[in-house]
Structure 1
């Protein structure tokens, strides 16, 4: 790490190098003592901090299986014309004329090779990409950049990225992933080889200009005891949840975006006995679990020449794999019906997450997702089945600087006469 330069000086210098930042005076001497630490101490490394260890599928993505992503390729395939690194123009053009392969310095690693295509056009925010403490980077066209660090979402002051650079970065990301983004297909939702999730919208659908959201892959896995230490939950809740895992209760973890649902799920999954066969099903692989008898299944979007493989199909297939437990990354649509059938047919100990605003609202949200499957079941019957199959709801909220478990509900059943769930509050965090 280089030391001694504050964030604004770094970012402005990088922006000038790339020609991507607007010219702003150096504010390094104007930072008030009370300004956020990241604005003063963002550090800059010599290479992007990209890791693939522990990331399932980091070397094997749908694009790889189709032969669309290559570690070595003709120069014309390696980078878009606008993305030729400085000093390599003649090497790449010469190789293209000869019809030979070219290997860039970072092509030995898929993740680094992907970042090499992107960073030249995101130089003004390069320190954000390299900072391991930053979890989310949000680029709202040329207008503004925001990032999340230690649970706080903050604006990046004095730095922007040119629209042209954003569009080239977007196309390079898509190409590296064996995907496409264009006016005909202006939305990209995928995952980088290092596990980071990326969503992109082009100006034809985003009034703000090319919009990019990067959720960086977090390699650290918290244990339940560590979650107690950082204040995510009290020790009493840790004990309750550990007992629920031992009793093989079906648990649904709810909360808003970035509230820590997956972090808690991973910590709970670590408590599962190594003697059990675990099936993990996800839309995009991000659940870091290490077990001796582990099967990972990942959905596939529709691709040229290949039909989609949705979560519903994977969930049905998993039931034929003799699972002891099923971990479903997220319930957000019609797959809720298949999950509900599993919960009510003897598949206990299931863990999953969903988006909801409260623990009680989670139950209604689950029922709504079940109805999205188009099943001919009355709504009260669906709610009754949820009352029978689900045992526990754990709800999290993100508050400034912190993520907390705010509610834990025990589901005892459903009362069809009163038309309400029979619930017991095991924990509720006091409002501060």
Structure 2
């Protein structure tokens, strides 16, 4: 008679996990998530939590002096509340836990999308020694669409500029919205995206690629993709995947790395009518910036490809003297 090892009878049987056990695992995960959300809400406090519910809020910022600022559409940046360093550190720790990473001296940066309960807002934060005290910036997704007609009514776009942009959209030109930090690039791209949605039917398939969800598009045939750094899925990989999805138009939230090369190739090979944003100070600088980003992929200058793929650059800038706080400074066609 064969002998069994001590304790062998205690081992679970081989095979699939029983349904009851799976339910218990799911329940435990849901409870842990609920506790994390409650802790986050408690740390953020009433004022910041209310800011997440305000459709005008676009950014929540914590400075190293503990002051929390909020930026609202058309209202600029104003003080909101304060947050002690200890609470801020706890918040970064919870975000690191949610992102399945850690935050400590060896890993002082936490970034990524927040939980759905916080609108999948884009979170970026760091701790000492990078800053004297914990800091963060939270970018909220658009909750309301500022249409191109709204830009005209508020004097940001002239009637002539409106005609140029809407004609370019109808003619399926590839448009880059360029500007500095906080100039309103994504808001303007969303206005263009809204116009695309209004003129598109099921025959127009739109694929949107972003790091965090910011682009709104209510067209009837849309696929939205997000990068996943944890899985090594970057924008370049998604752009290559996008070509298998039969896109008619390709929108990119922000071009900031070597993925510029893949985007330009996609735009220039039978997928016109795209939209993208880019950090640059003027239209010519936008083309130079695109070229620099392409070269990050280890290729020589792609100026010829850029001239083939990019049809229009719309430059937007902050303007404290304008009632809306920003204005369109240039619309450059490269046909």
TM-score by length of 1: 0.64
Correspondence for 2:151: 227
- The alignment status of 1:146 with 2:101, answered yes or no, reads no
- Cα deviation for residue 72 of structure 1 reads 4.9
- Structure 2 residue corresponding to 1:390, chosen from 310, 313, 320: 310
- Structure 1 residue corresponding to 2:268, chosen from 344, 349, 370: 344
Q: Secondary structure of 1:367's match?
A: helix
- The alignment status of 1:201 with 2:123, answered yes or no, reads no
Runs (5+) with no aligned partner, structure 1: 1-66, 79-106, 108-112, 413-432
Give distance in 2, aligned partners of 1:133 and 1:74.
33
Asked if the contact 2:251–2:274 (Cα under 8 Å) also holds between the matched residues in 1, the reply is yes
Correspondence for 1:370: 294
Q: Summarize deviations over 1:312-369 as a string: whole Å, max 9, x none.
A: 0110111122211111111111011111212332221111111111112111111111
Could you tell which deviates more after superposition, 222-231 or 277-286?
A: 222-231
Correspondence for 1:308: 232
Larger relative contact order (Cα-Cα within 8 Å, sequence gap ≥ 6): 2
Give distance in 1, aligned partners of 2:41 and 2:317.
33
Give distance in 2, aligned partners of 1:374 and 1:317.
21
Matching of residues 29-428 of structure 1 within 5 Å: 72-73=27-28, 77=32, 107=34, 116-123=38-45, 125-126=47-48, 128=51, 131-149=54-72, 150-155=74-79, 160-192=82-114, 193=116, 194-207=119-132, 209-272=133-196, 273-274=200-201, 275-302=203-230, 307-375=231-299, 377=300, 379=301, 382-400=302-320, 401-412=324-335
Give distance in 2, aligned partners of 1:237 and 1:115.
45
Runs (5+) with no aligned partner, structure 2: 1-21
Give distance in 2, aligned partners of 1:138 and 1:213.
5
Give distance in 2, aligned partners of 1:129 and 1:292.
28
Give distance in 1, aligned partners of 2:297 and 2:186.
24
Asked if the contact 1:151–1:403 (Cα under 8 Å) also holds between the matched residues in 2, the reply is no
- Cα deviation for residue 114 of structure 1 reads 6.0
Q: Secondary structure of 2:176's match?
A: strand
Q: Summarize deviations over 1:169-207 as a string: whole Å, max 9, x none.
A: 221233234443333322111122213221110123222
Q: Which has the higher helix share?
A: 2
Cα separation, partners in 2 of 1:203 and 1:125, compared to 1, 3 Å: farther
Q: Secondary structure of 1:240's match?
A: helix
Give distance in 1, aligned partners of 2:27 and 2:268.
49
Give distance in 1, aligned partners of 2:274 and 2:27.
42
Let me know the Cα RMSD of the aligned residues.
Answer: 2.5
Q: Secondary structure of 1:404's match?
A: strand
Asked if the contact 1:117–1:173 (Cα under 8 Å) also holds between the matched residues in 2, the reply is no
Cα separation, partners in 2 of 1:279 and 1:341, compared to 1, 3 Å: same
Asked if the contact 1:254–1:359 (Cα under 8 Å) also holds between the matched residues in 2, the reply is yes
Correspondence for 2:14: none
Correspondence for 2:9: none
- Cα deviation for residue 124 of structure 1 reads 7.8
Cα separation, partners in 2 of 1:76 and 1:299, compared to 1, 3 Å: closer
Give distance in 2, aligned partners of 1:254 and 1:75.
41
